[in-house]
Amino acid sequence: MGEGKRKRGKAKPASKRYKKYKISGNKVERLARFCPRCGPGIFMMQAKDRLYCGKCHYTEFLETKK
């Protein structure tokens, strides 16, 4: 029967969560927003016209100037 070695998939790249913060003096600032549904620790991705959570698929559209 067709028993053979299985190929493993490629590993996903680790998140660069350290890039979401900025240290200025004694304060730590968040550069991205947290997801309102998932809570603290889950950041939202910022696209050109919207904010998106990859975990729960929550989307907020940003207001654009016309």
| Residue-averaged pLDDT of the chain | 90
pLDDT-based confidence at residue 5 (cuts at 50, 70, 90): confident
How high is the pLDDT of residue 2? 60
Please state, as a whole number, how many other Cβ atoms lie within 10 Å of the Cβ of residue 11. 6
- The tokens of 57 are what? 């698929």
Structure tokens at 62: 């940003």
The pLDDT confidence band at residue 1, using thresholds 50, 70 and 90, is: low
Per-residue model confidence as pLDDT tens digits over 18-54:
999 999 999 999 999 999 999 998 999 999 999 999 9
The band of 66, judged by pLDDT with boundaries at 50, 70 and 90, is confident
**Residue 44 to residue 52: CA distance in whole angstroms:** 5
